[in-house]
């Protein structure tokens, strides 16, 4: 006889699924989930542990919310999607209709699951309007937003068989998109947990087939004799199921898609006394802002970060598309004309603001000459001469040893080990 330790390991609430978190408040929101996991049991007397989670979602206009609010897993589930004809009227694959005779459109699928033929063969598509509205770029199974430092916005997860199992989106970006469209996200989900037991576990009410409701959740749990056991010694099967519907609410603003004003403006130190102003207040300020040198590696940390030089002490730097003309003053601070900070998006302003400091030593002399006196300095930054010097070395190496390949290899080895490449900046 197998000695059981179930009560110390697989607790009864495991089958009640009370630990499944609501989507509101998460950093990443599942737009579609269809994942089953089987694992070996670490518990004596317990085997065949299996967990399944499925989530389907619809973006819903406020006018259609009451209709969709009554939908269940039977209405919005893990079915694949296709175009349809209702009474001769074409319905595109991205829309969901109600069950009225008119078959009214009541929701938009932000993830479309395309059946490719064959067993469990699917391709998942992120809705193109969402991709275009947020200006996303897909690389592999991740959608990035170049306008925001190449932040990862959506990501697709696959199982070991390369089958898609989860497509989720960053809550901040999803909220922005939904707010612009006047929509909320309806999510319908089903979760199931099952396990086999060598003996009937000593759970409370173990012989009852229980069904109960909690808010928008429907639960089911039972222990029964196993009809198809994975091993002869496992005679009982436990199962818990949860059906849930919920809403992910959009924010009050759409800064990225609709262009709403950002209410959380950051401030910058203005002048030597440390007085602080927002970027908007800096537009009319005929003064300069200063930043610690740590600003440079922080901006270049972004994938689209660039740095370029105009003169010995001036150049342009950017974390994204918009570069700012800067200068290095006598104390090594990065100085810029105050109004230029307003040209940056809010996320990039926050990156700059983290390194803002009261100005000390004045603005860069070369930057003042270029911007105020229209007399750019006749100096050259040593950083710009590195590649030219390596090119000359390459030519000399080839002339001496007659091997261009060897010279290129030697140059790349020396360059990568001692001089990281300097990104070019668009003036």
Please count the helices (runs of H) and the strands (runs of E) in the chain: 8, 24
Query: Are 331 and 364 found together in one domain?
Result: yes
| Same domain assignment for residues 298 and 403 | no
Report which of residues 265 and 72 the model is more confident about: 72
Note whether 312 and 329 are same-domain residues: yes
Helices (H), 206-282: none
Domain membership flag for residue 357: yes
Question: Among 6-20, 140-154, 361-375, where is mean pLDDT lowest?
Answer: 6-20
Read off the pLDDT of each residue in 207-219 and give the average, rounded to a whole number.
92
pLDDT: which is higher, 205 or 257 = 257
pLDDT average, residue stretch 399-415: 58
29 lies in some domain:
yes
Model confidence at 418: pLDDT above 50: no
Could you tell me the two tokens for 17?
């699924």
- Statement: residue 301 has pLDDT above 80: yes
- Average pLDDT, stretch 274-290? 86
For residue 341, is it within any domain?
yes
Q: Is the pLDDT reported for residue 58 higher than 50?
A: yes
414 pLDDT exceeds 70?
Answer: no
Q: Does residue 285 lie within any of the structural domains?
A: yes
Instruction: Judge whether residue 263 has pLDDT over 90.
Output: no
Same domain, 90 and 170: yes
pTM here?
A: 0.80
Retrieve residue 71's tokens: 């939908």
For the ranges 113-127, 178-192, 207-221, the maximum mean pLDDT occurs at 178-192
Percent of the chain with pLDDT over 70: 91
Residues 6 or more apart whose CB falls under 8 angstroms from that of 290 comprise 269, 329, 333, 334, 335, 356, 357, 358, 359, 360
The token pair that represents 72 in the structure block = 């269940």
- The predicted pLDDT at position 417 comes to 37
Q: Are residues 362 and 395 in the same domain?
A: no
Counting residues of the chain whose pLDDT is more than 90, the rounded percentage is: 54
Q: Determine the Cα–Cα distance for residues 71 and 65; give it in Å rounded to an integer.
A: 10
Statement to judge: residues 244 and 301 lie in one domain: no
DSSP letter, residue 148: G
Same domain, 80 and 164: yes
Helices within 157-235 (DSSP H only): 171-181
With cut-offs at 50, 70 and 90, classify the pLDDT of residue 393.
confident
Are 275 and 212 part of one and the same domain? no
Higher pLDDT, 181 or 345: 181
Q: Which of 202-211, 215-224, 227-236 has the lowest mean pLDDT?
A: 227-236
Confidence band, pLDDT 50/70/90 cuts, at residue 427: very low
Q: Tell me the pLDDT band of 228, cut-offs 50, 70 and 90.
A: confident
* Nearest residue to 286 (alpha-carbon basis) of 270, 309, 272: 270
Q: Are residues 374 and 392 in the same domain?
A: no
Alpha helices in 313-385 (DSSP H): 346-353, 365-371
Range of the domain at 399: 386-418
pLDDT in tens, 349-371: 999 999 999 999 999 999 999 99
Domain boundary, last residue among 248, 275, 294: 248
Q: How many domains does the chain have?
A: 3
Question: Structure tokens of 221?
Answer: 């749990």
Residue at 138 is within a domain: no
* Per-residue pLDDT at 409: 53
For residues 405 and 59, the model is more confident at 59
**Whether residues 399 and 343 fall in one domain:** no
- Checking if the pLDDT of 318 tops 50, the result is yes
Give the pLDDT of residue 248. 97
> Does 260 fall in a domain?
no
| 96, 32: one domain | yes
Tell whether 325 is covered by a domain.
yes
Q: Which of 344, 220, 363 is nearest to 288 (CA)?
A: 363
Q: Mean of the per-residue pLDDT values for the chain? A: 86
> Residues 94, 199: one domain?
yes
Domain assignment present for residue 207? The answer is yes
């Amino acid at each position: 006889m197998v000695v059981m330790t179930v009560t110390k390991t697989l607790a009864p609430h495991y089958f009640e699924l009370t630990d499944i978190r609501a989507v509101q408040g998460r950093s990443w929101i599942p737009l579609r989930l269809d994942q089953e996991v089987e694992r070996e049991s670490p518990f004596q007397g317990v085997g065949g542990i299996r967990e399944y989670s499925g989530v389907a979602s619809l973006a819903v206009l406020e006018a259609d919310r009451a209709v969709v609010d009554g939908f269940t897993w039977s209405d919005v589930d893990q079915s694949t999607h296709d175009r349809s004809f209702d009474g001769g009227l074409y319905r595109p694959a991205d829309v969901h209709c109600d069950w009225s005779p008119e078959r009214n459109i009541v929701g938009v699928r932000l993830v479309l699951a395309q059946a490719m033929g064959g067993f469990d063969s699917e391709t998942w598509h992120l809705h193109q309007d969402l991709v275009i509205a947020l200006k996303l770029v897909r690389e592999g199974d991740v959608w990035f937003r170049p306008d925001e430092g190449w932040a990862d916005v959506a990501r697709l997860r696959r199982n070991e068989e390369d089958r898609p199992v989860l497509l989720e989106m960053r809550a901040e970006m999803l909220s922005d998109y939904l707010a612009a469209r006047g929509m909320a996200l309806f999510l319908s989900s089903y979760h199931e947990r099952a396990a086999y037991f060598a003996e009937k576990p000593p759970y409370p009410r173990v012989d009852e087939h229980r069904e109960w409701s909690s808010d928008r959740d429907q639960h089911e749990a039972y222990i029964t004799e196993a009809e198809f056991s994975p091993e002869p010694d496992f005679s009982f099967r436990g199962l818990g199921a949860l059906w849930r519907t919920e809403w992910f609410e959009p924010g009050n603003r759409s800064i990225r898609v609709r262009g709403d004003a950002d209410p959380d403006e950051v401030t910058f130190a203005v002048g030597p006394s440390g007085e602080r102003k927002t970027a908007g207040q800096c537009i009319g300020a005929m003064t300069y802002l200063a930043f610690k040198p740590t600003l440079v590696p922080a901006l270049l940390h972004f994938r689209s970060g660039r740095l370029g030089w105009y003169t010995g002490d001036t150049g342009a730097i950017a974390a994204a598309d918009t570069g700012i003309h800067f200068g290095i003053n006598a104390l090594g601070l990065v100085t810029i004309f105050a109004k230029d900070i307003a040209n940056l998006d809010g996320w990039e302003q926050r990156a700059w603001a983290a390194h803002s400091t009261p100005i000390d030593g004045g603005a860069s002399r070369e930057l003042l000459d270029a911007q105020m006196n229209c007399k750019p300095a006749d100096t050259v930054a040593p950083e710009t001469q590195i590649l030219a010097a390596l090119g000359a070395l390459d030519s000399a190496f080839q002339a001496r040893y007659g091997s261009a390949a060897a010279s290129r290899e030697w140059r790349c080895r020396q360059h990568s080990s001692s001089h990281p490449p300097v990104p070019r900046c668009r003036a």
